């Protein structure tokens, strides 16, 4: 055991049992192998990826006395030790998770090759086929898994001290494979250019450790690209050049002036990684996306059709549908058949957007019975709702475009594009407020000049998670035909919810407080609670009552929170709600601390176009129907709207529990019951558009649990983050005409 001047200690341990694990965080019982505490069993806690019973580690950290659990060792850094006995080697091989390599087979391998087993597998795995029961395929699977383990350990030992998360190291390995270290040695900043979601500091430290000079061109280039990618994650399409320089220089530290970034910018412009227009600096992909949308929108506005008089057929449609459209709705329908190929319909809940769309489809099919119509929305649940309300098939935008592959950095490639456009004469897109710029560009690029496009949305909801603000930008351009529906017609079981949404939208706190305080609404309830523990306990009581007394299932109930982390974050709430709804279930698969059980409500958190026949995309929710265990292999079957999708254990990084979700993730979805938690510590996110989005997810009942201050703050805070976008200016002609829109074709 050693002690350094920072009072950190390094000890050698063997893991005896694992008490708790979530994601990469573990609490395990471990035996100290040497020093004055040799033989003691203590709790170790910290982030140790793929931690298994029987493995040995050299861990650095410090001892702490926990008042409830006694002496513990907090792990800051660790190195996994190679097995140094036949018993350890058998345990290691049998716990790698390779199908068909259990303890008996591992013992056969060690019996034949001894302590050289790992070397034999890595150098010539075909030698394993000499052992009865080991096929070439099984031997190759063991080789691939062992190779992955070694690559990860090598990368982890290099990168973990730089504060890179284990999942980030996995991402790097997936991208660079065995060439990771060589790529980093060539240019430590390569991941900042080629991937998303990585900080500047870890690779900057790596460059310093490898003696790259602080004024190296690689460093200048990376600082600029990092600033732009950070801006993308905040929703910006570009940044003013002066802001890029200010933030870039802050990254570089003292002793650098603007001239030091000039050479880096010059190279980036020359290689096409970034684009500069006036004083606005873009990542190339966002620059191209913005110009694509501008070009296609402008083109749709220049192509004119003969205006159709809908007065007489509209009367017939009203009789058929049992609807009487008001003057503004009739104007919207008329504009949909006007000369322009593009139309935007907006409105809040209950204003009749769906009613107008149903009438439009009915009219369109009368005028053009042979034309093809497509309906789509950004999320699966929104598409399902659109289909149910119109009686026509609807798809996600991803499925409409049909993903066929992806780039090395994970960006989807679609079958339908400018070379093979979508075969539709009319496309209707719902929930356009969720549509980010890159996906919008892919959609617009795939639309033919003959196609009519109708965009539907609510501009008062949250902006998209990704960059851009398409709906807001389009509404800023006067030339684009649009109608905003204002009158609320729906007076059904969600009348109170609509009333609350209206009060939130107008910022009328005092009237909202009166309505909630006097319990004047049948479908909306505010349950005040001060601290996080009280809110959590009240939440669990409410959800249990909804489930047991009112018959609402986990599918019907959405528990929403502004944040992922914290006591009232969705990660913690999901654990508590899983215990409430599904605590009795024993069939489970554990994956990095998350327990997935039969009947659990889950959400896909990554786009995967290869999963199932049509792919499964970010935000789709389903239920675990079955767990299959065969030998060492574990698989789960998830049902997404009746489609059963298989996941291996290693694929479970694509899923998360979904009893609770963030407000942003719930956008585009509707639920019979929404339970929203709000607390003062949510302060950074307590804004009117977030509250409005949460409220409008509810169809039958809305329950808000939290502090009065947090609710009032959300109602009155109208501050919205400004997103840098040039789309309105491109379309509005602020730039010179030649710069505004390129000609189609």
Question: In sequence order, what DSSP letters do the residues of 49-93 get, joined into one string?
Answer: TT--TT-EEEEEEEEEEETTTEEEEEEEEEEEPPP-SHHHHHHHH
Beta bridge partners of 10: 2, 60
For 291-331, how does the pLDDT look when each residue is reduced to its tens digit (9 = 90+)? 999 999 998 988 878 888 898 999 999 999 998 999 999 99
Rounded mean pLDDT of the chain?
Answer: 89
For 162-171, how does the pLDDT look when each residue is reduced to its tens digit (9 = 90+)? 888 777 888 8
When mean pLDDT is compared across 67-76, 262-271, 428-437, 574-583, the lowest value belongs to 67-76
Check the annotation: does 350 bind a ligand. yes
pLDDT in the model for residue 405: 82
- At 19, is the pLDDT very low, low, confident or very high (cuts 50, 70, 90)? confident
pLDDT in the model for residue 744: 44
The tokens describing 704, both together, are 């808000």
Of 584 and 280, the structure prediction assigns the larger pLDDT to 280
Residue 210 contacts residue 188 (beta carbons within 8 Å):
yes
β 373-377/426-429 pair status: parallel
- At 140, is the pLDDT very low, low, confident or very high (cuts 50, 70, 90)? very high
pLDDT in the model for residue 211: 95
Give the whole-angstrom CA distance, residue 65 versus residue 82. Answer: 30
Of 410 and 397, the structure prediction assigns the larger pLDDT to 397
pLDDT in the model for residue 163: 83
Count of beta carbons in the 10 Å neighbourhood of residue 353: 22
Residue 29, helix vs strand vs coil? strand
Q: Minimal CA–CA distance to 382: which of 569, 617, 554?
A: 617
Check the annotation: does 352 bind a ligand. yes
When mean pLDDT is compared across 489-493, 499-503, 708-712, the lowest value belongs to 489-493
Burial of 162 (0-12, 13-18, 19+ CB in 10 A): middle
For 341-394, how does the pLDDT look when each residue is reduced to its tens digit (9 = 90+)? 999 999 998 889 999 999 999 999 999 999 999 999 998 888 888 999 999 999
Judged against a pLDDT cut of 90, whether residue 8 lies above it is answered with no
pLDDT in the model for residue 490: 60
Give the whole-angstrom CA distance, residue 178 versus residue 183. Answer: 10
Judged against a pLDDT cut of 90, whether residue 472 lies above it is answered with yes
The tokens describing 715, both together, are 């109602």
Domains of the chain: 2-156 (2.40.50.140), 164-277 (no CATH), 290-485 (3.40.50.300), 508-716 (3.40.50.300)
Give the whole-angstrom CA distance, residue 118 versus residue 233. Answer: 42
pLDDT in the model for residue 392: 94
Q: Tell me, rounded to whole angstroms, the distance of Cα 708 from its chain centroid.
A: 30
Number of H helices, E strands in the chain: 28, 29
The mean pLDDT of 530-534, rounded to a whole number, is: 92
pLDDT in the model for residue 631: 63
The mean pLDDT of 542-553, rounded to a whole number, is: 94
- At 629, is the pLDDT very low, low, confident or very high (cuts 50, 70, 90)? confident
Rounded to a whole number of angstroms, the CA Rg of the chain reads 29
Residue 577 contacts residue 543 (beta carbons within 8 Å):
yes
Q: Give 341's Cβ-side CA count (13 Å radius).
A: 20
Judged against a pLDDT cut of 80, whether residue 489 lies above it is answered with no
Residue 367 contacts residue 425 (beta carbons within 8 Å):
no
The H or E element spanning position 294 is helix 284-302
Check the annotation: does 354 bind a ligand. yes
Residue 241 contacts residue 249 (beta carbons within 8 Å):
no
Q: Helices 327-336 and 353-367, interaxial angle, to 10°?
A: 40
Residue 278 contacts residue 238 (beta carbons within 8 Å):
no
Q: Minimal CA–CA distance to 445: which of 475, 488, 415, 467?
A: 415
The tokens describing 212, both together, are 């790259």
For 159-192, how does the pLDDT look when each residue is reduced to its tens digit (9 = 90+)? 888 888 777 888 898 899 889 999 999 999 999 9
Residue 212 contacts residue 194 (beta carbons within 8 Å):
no
Of 471 and 257, the structure prediction assigns the larger pLDDT to 471
Give the whole-angstrom CA distance, residue 517 versus residue 9. Answer: 57
pLDDT in the model for residue 139: 93
List b or e across 305-321, with b for residues whose CB sees 16 or more CB atoms inside 10 angstroms: eeeeebeeebeebeeee
Give the whole-angstrom CA distance, residue 551 versus residue 556. Answer: 9
């Amino acid at each position: 055991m050693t002690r350094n001047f920072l009072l950190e200690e390094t000890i050698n341990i063997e893991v005896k049992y694992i008490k708790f694990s979530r994601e990469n965080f573990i609490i395990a019982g471990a035996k100290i192998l040497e020093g004055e505490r040799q033989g003691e069993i203590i709790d170790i806690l910290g982030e140790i990826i793929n931690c298994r019973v029987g493995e040995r580690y050299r861990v650095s950290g410090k001892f702490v006395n926990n008042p409830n659990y006694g002496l513990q060792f907090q792990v800051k850094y660790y190195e996994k030790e190679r097995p140094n006995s036949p018993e350890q080697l058998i345990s290691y091989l049998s716990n790698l998770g390779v199908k068909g390599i259990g303890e008996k087979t591992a013992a056969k391998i060690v019996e034949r090759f001894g302590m050289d087993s790992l070397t034999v597998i890595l150098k010539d795995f075909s030698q394993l086929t000499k052992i009865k029961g080991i096929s070439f395929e099984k031997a190759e699977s063991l080789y691939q898994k062992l190779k992955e383990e070694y690559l990860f350990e090598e990368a982890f030992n290099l990168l973990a001290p730089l504060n890179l998360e284990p999942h980030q190291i996995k991402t790097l390995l997936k991208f660079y494979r065995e060439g990771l270290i060589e790529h980093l040695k060539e240019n430590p900043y390569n991941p900042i250019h080629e991937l998303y979601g990585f900080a500047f500091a870890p690779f900057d430290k790596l460059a310093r450790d490898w003696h790259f000079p602080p004024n190296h061109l690689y460093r200048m280039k990376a600082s600029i690209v990092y600033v732009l990618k950070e801006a993308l994650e905040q929703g910006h399409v570009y940044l003013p050049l002066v802001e890029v320089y200010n933030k870039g220089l802050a990254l570089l530290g003292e002793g650098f002036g603007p001239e030091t970034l000039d050479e880096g910018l010059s190279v980036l412009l020359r290689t096409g990684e970034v684009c500069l227009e006036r004083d606005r600096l873009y990542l190339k992909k966002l620059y191209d996306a913005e110009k694509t949308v501008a070009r296609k929108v402008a083109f749709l506005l220049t192509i004119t059709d003969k205006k159709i008089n809908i007065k007489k057929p509209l009367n017939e449609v009203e009789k058929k549908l049992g609807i009487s459209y008001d003057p503004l709705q009739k104007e919207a329908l008329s504009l949909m058949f006007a000369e322009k190929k593009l139309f935007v319909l907006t409105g809040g809940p209950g204003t009749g957007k769906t009613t107008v769309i149903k009438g439009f489809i009915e009219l369109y099919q009368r005028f053009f019975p042979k034309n093809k119509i497509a309906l789509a929305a950004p999320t699966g649940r929104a598409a399902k709702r659109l289909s149910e309300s119109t009686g026509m098939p609807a798809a996600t935008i991803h499925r409409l475009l049909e993903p066929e592959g992806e780039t090395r950095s994970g960006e989807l490639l679609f079958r339908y594009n400018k070379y093979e456009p979508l075969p539709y004469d009319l496309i209707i897109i719902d929930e356009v407020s969720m549509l980010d710029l890159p996906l919008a560009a892919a959609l617009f690029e795939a639309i033919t000049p003959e196609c009519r496009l109708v965009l539907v949305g609510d501009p008062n909801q949250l902006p998209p998670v990704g960059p851009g603000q398409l709906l807001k930008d389009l509404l800023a351009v006067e030339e684009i035909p649009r109608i905003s529906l204002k009158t609320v017609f729906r007076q059904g079981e969600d009348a109170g919810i609509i009333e609350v949404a209206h009060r939130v939208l107008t910022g009328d706190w005092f009237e909202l407080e009166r309505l909630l305080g006097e319990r004047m609404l049948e479908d909306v309830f505010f349950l005040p609670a001060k601290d996080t523990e009280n809110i959590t306990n009240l939440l669990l009581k409410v959800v249990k009552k909804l489930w047991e007394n009112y018959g609402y299932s986990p599918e019907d109930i959405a528990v929403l929170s502004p944040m992922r982390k914290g006591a009232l974050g969705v990660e913690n709430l999901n654990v508590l709600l899983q215990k409430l709804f599904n605590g009795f279930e024993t069939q489970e698969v554990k994956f990095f601390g998350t327990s997935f059980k039969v009947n659990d409500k889950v959400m896909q958190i990554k786009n995967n176009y290869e999963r199932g026949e049509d792919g499964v995309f970010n935000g789709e929710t389903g239920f675990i129907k079955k767990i299959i265990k065969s030998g060492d292999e574990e698989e789960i079957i998830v049902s997404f709207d009746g489609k059963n999708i298989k996941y291996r254990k290693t694929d479970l990084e694509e899923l998360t529990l979904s009893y609770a979700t963030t407000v942003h993730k719930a956008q585009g979805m509707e639920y019979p019951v929404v339970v929203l938690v709000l607390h003062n510590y949510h302060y950074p996110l307590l804004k009117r558009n977030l509250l409005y989005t949460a409220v409008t997810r509810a169809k039958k009942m809305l329950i808000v649990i939290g502090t009065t201050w947090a609710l009032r703050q959300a109602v009155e805070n109208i501050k919205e983050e400004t997103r840098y976008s040039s789309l309105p200016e491109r379309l509005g002609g602020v730039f010179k005409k030649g710069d505004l829109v390129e000609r189609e074709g």
